[in-house]
Structure 1
Amino acid sequence: MGILEGKKLLVTGVTMDNSIGFAVARTAQNEGAEVVVSNFGRALGITRRIVNRLPKEASVIELDVTDEQHLADLSNQLQDSLGGLDGIFHSIAYGNPETILGGRFVGAPWEDVSQAVQVSAYSLMSLANAARPLLGRGSSVVGMTFDATVAWPAYDWMGVAKAGLESCARYLARDLGPDGIRVNLVSAGPLKTLAAKAIPGFEDLEALWNDRAPLGWDEKDNEPTARAAAALLSDYFPATTGEIVHVDGGYHAMGA
């Protein structure tokens, strides 16, 4: 029996089969969970095709975390699709690569910065709040970050958005904790996903990991990250919340 046997999960951020969200959905199903995945707009059609590559059938719902009506309808959609909810995997982020990434920190326009913060950080709260009527004691919310304690090459305002996400997770852990709902993040090393390819200069980050991660790092292997997320979504961490679990080959712990 898998560690997620009987769990009902919403997995966001499933676009391609190299998406972290796809890896989490696959791992969750292999561990016994029933999964619904989400996307929106033009990517929704791609997601509906990609889910056919999962080990088991998964429903797809449309969810734009900046659309108030989508959020208002979410609880009912999940009730119809799953009959309940035990956990959420948040893998949602966006920053305009032409204006706020790739060395464009100074002078970046506020409208693009605010969009990145809303989509990448605020959405953790808005998503959890929208699904809250279905989340009971023992439920888990897990999100993805990229270590926001330092400044990285090329990451710029997305780094600021991730810092906001990490702070948001701590406050959300505080406010949802009395209801028995845990909120944690996974901080992964650089992975070759569709989102990473859109960041100018992201290959500079990959080179850093090859030199300094004591366990080594394979930027094409998202399975370790997916396993960490699945563990946090399970009942194996009943007293852990507000935490950031690093899955980066040990890079974060090294000095020069």
Structure 2
Amino acid sequence: MLLEGKKLLVTGVLMDSSIAFHVAKLAQEQGAEVVLTSFGRTMRITQTIAKRLPTTPPVVELDVTDQGHLDSLAERVGEHVDHLDGVLHSIGFAPQGAFNFLEGTFEDVSTAMHASAYSLKALGVAALPLMQGGGSIVGLTFDAKYAWPVYDWMGVAKAAFESTNRYLARDFGPKGIRCNLVAAGPIRTTAAKSIPGFQTFEDTWGQRAPLGWDVNNALPAAQACVALLSDWFPATTAEIVHVDGGVHAMGQ
């Protein structure tokens, strides 16, 4: 099995439609031991959804914008596993105001940057004490090369997220930790529903994708994440793997 004996920390499991849920499920099927994170009012939801996995994993509280949570993460995760081989960053948040580029306030933008970009570095550093043997950090992005309709400051945050991944790869490489991103096409998830006008992507993506695209199928993106969390990409870091049906390479 691809992840036999691996121990993984998976963030972002909120619904069973999410990419993170499918990563956790596939990882368990491939032999990994999984610990989930959630926080606040969503803790109970994550704990309920976790029961739909092949093995019900523990859920550790983590708000990536709370330094206290980050400082104690390794100790609390360490109550369940003695080390980590991999971490999935599936976290993003922006206030509604951030989805209006010209009117979005700096407060809106800074919140989006903190939760959606800086959090990759913060999570990596928080998990580092458990990753002394090396491993893999994988994050989920939405290709930030373009000015997408409706995405606005969240798109800017994703560009910062992708840059953060490159710097994290630079500094974590000597520690034996690879840092890569999966740029997935639009998936009909809870996060997507919070973006006003997200249907703009859903309506056209399948028409533009050479391979076609199913907005209800998170499995292809999850499979890419699991592959990157495995030992099958030992010399790949600072990379963005597109799982979008090929749209990223097509003209209009």
* TM-score in terms of structure 1 length: 0.97
What does residue 246 of structure 2 align with? Answer: 250
1:212-231 equivalences under 5 Å are 212-231=208-227
Q: Answer yes or no: is the 8 Å Cα contact 1:138–1:238 preserved in 2.
A: no
Letter in 2 for 1:23: H
1:138, CA displacement in angstroms? Answer: 3.8
What does residue 178 of structure 2 align with? Answer: 182
Give the distance between the partners of 1:247 and 1:8, measured in 2 at CA: 24
What does residue 132 of structure 2 align with? Answer: 136
Letter in 1 for 2:217: D
Q: 1:67 aligned to 2:63?
A: no
1:35-114 equivalences under 5 Å are 35-97=34-96, 99-101=97-99, 104-114=100-110
Q: 1:118 aligned to 2:114?
A: yes
CA displacement 1:185-212 (0-9 Å, x = unmatched): 0000000000101111101111221211
Letter in 2 for 1:182: R
* TM-score in terms of structure 2 length: 0.98
SS at match of 2:9: strand
Q: Answer yes or no: is the 8 Å Cα contact 1:138–1:235 preserved in 2.
A: no
Give the distance between the partners of 2:23 and 2:145, measured in 1 at CA: 25
1:84, CA displacement in angstroms? Answer: 1.0
Q: Answer yes or no: is the 8 Å Cα contact 2:82–2:130 preserved in 1.
A: no
Give the distance between the partners of 2:172 and 2:83, measured in 1 at CA: 18
Letter in 2 for 1:132: L
1:145, CA displacement in angstroms? Answer: 0.3
1:77, CA displacement in angstroms? Answer: 1.1
1:88, CA displacement in angstroms? Answer: 0.3
Give the distance between the partners of 2:35 and 2:225, measured in 1 at CA: 16
Letter in 2 for 1:150: Y
Q: Answer yes or no: is the 8 Å Cα contact 1:86–1:136 preserved in 2.
A: no
What does residue 232 of structure 1 align with? Answer: 228
CA displacement 1:81-132 (0-9 Å, x = unmatched): 11111110000000112x111xx10021111110100000000000000111
Unaligned segments of structure 2, at least 5 residues? none
Give the distance between the partners of 1:165 and 1:237, measured in 2 at CA: 21
Unaligned segments of structure 1, at least 5 residues? none
Q: How many residues align?
A: 252
Give the distance between the partners of 2:47 and 2:227, measured in 1 at CA: 26
CA RMSD for the aligned pairs? 0.8
